[in-house]
Amino acid sequence: MRRYGWAAWKGHLDRWRELVAEARASGFDYVELSLDYPLVFQEDKLGEAVEELKRIGLGVSFHAPWRGIDLASPWEGIRAASVELVKRSIDLASKYGAEYVVYHVTTSEKLTPDVREAVMEAGRRSVEEVTEYAKRLGVRAAVENVGTLGHPDYFGALRDQTDAEFCLDFAHAVSSFMHRHKLKLDDVNVDEVIELWKNAVGGRTLCAHVHGLEGPKRAHRPLTYPITKRAAAKAYALTGAEYVTFEIYYSKGNSEATPKFVSKEMNEVKSWEKVYKAPKAL
C-alpha cells in the first residue's frame, strides 16, 4: 500500500513535537527528514527526533545532504568523498530504522563535450557504489532527478546499468523539460513529461516528491498549472512510487506551509490516483 509523507528539515526541530503531532493528525504516514549540515553529525538531535516520530506512530525516511556533495564530479577525490557522506546517511538510516534514503547525483562541472562522458561515468559509479552499500545494510536508497543530470535519458541509463531505485520529483522533471526545450512553464506538456519518465524509471520508482513551481525558479509551492493535482497523481501512480512525500514548504507568498495545509493538497492529489494504474516492476 502506498504511503504518504510530510517533508521536514532541521529548521522544524525547534517545534518538532507540535509539528509532527499535526502531521500525524493530518493523515501522514511518515516524515522525510532532510539531514542538512550539521544535523547528519548531531546524533543526539536526530535520535530524539526519530524517537518522537516512533512514539506517536509515524515512520521516518531521510533525505541525504546535497549542498556541496557532487556524486558525479569527474574529480575522483570529490566524488569519493561525496560517496562517503551519502554512506553516512545510509548508516544513520540503518541505525534508526528509516524506510528509505533519498540522495542526489550532481556535478558542479559545465557539461562541455570534453567533460560530459567523464561526469556521466562518475555519476554511474557513485550510484552503483551507494546502491551496493545500502543493500548490504538493508536500506533502500533512491536517487532523485535534479540538476543538469536530472533528465530521463541519463536516469534510463542508470536503470539499465545499475540496480538503483529512483525518486521522481515531478516538479524537477517539468522544470528540466522546460529549460531543455526552451519553453515557458505554462507551455510544457506535462503528460509528455510523465511518459518520458515512465519509460525511463517506471517500475523502479521507490518514491516521489510532489510540489509545485511558481515561475521558473521558485519551487516547493502548492500545486498550480501546469503541475496540477491530476498530473502529480498521474506521475507517481504510473511510475509505481511506493512512497509519496509532499515537499510543499510555502503556502501563500513566503508563509510556511503547515502539515495541516500540506495535507489538504495531499488529499486532493490522492483523489486522482484511482484513475491511473501503476506498471509492474521492471
35, three cell numbers:
539531514
CA distance 83 to 71: 6
Other beta carbons within 10 angstroms of residue 143's beta carbon come to 29
Percent above pLDDT 90 for the chain: 90
* Domain residue limits, the chain: 3-275
Task: Label residue 255 by pLDDT band (50, 70, 90).
Answer: confident
For the domain made up of 3-275, the CATH class stated in words is alpha beta
Q: What share of the chain in percent tops pLDDT 70?
A: 96
What is the spatial distance between Cα 63 and Cα 245, in angstroms, rounded to a whole number? 11
E strand map for 35-117 = 59-63, 101-104
Q: What is the mean pLDDT of residues 147-151?
A: 95
Question: What confidence tens digit (pLDDT) does each residue in 157-208 have?
Answer: 999 999 999 999 999 999 999 999 999 999 999 999 999 999 999 999 999 9
In the chain, DSSP assigns E strands to 3-8, 30-34, 59-63, 101-104, 141-144, 165-169, 205-210, 212-214, 218-221, 243-246
Mean pLDDT (whole number) for 117-124: 98
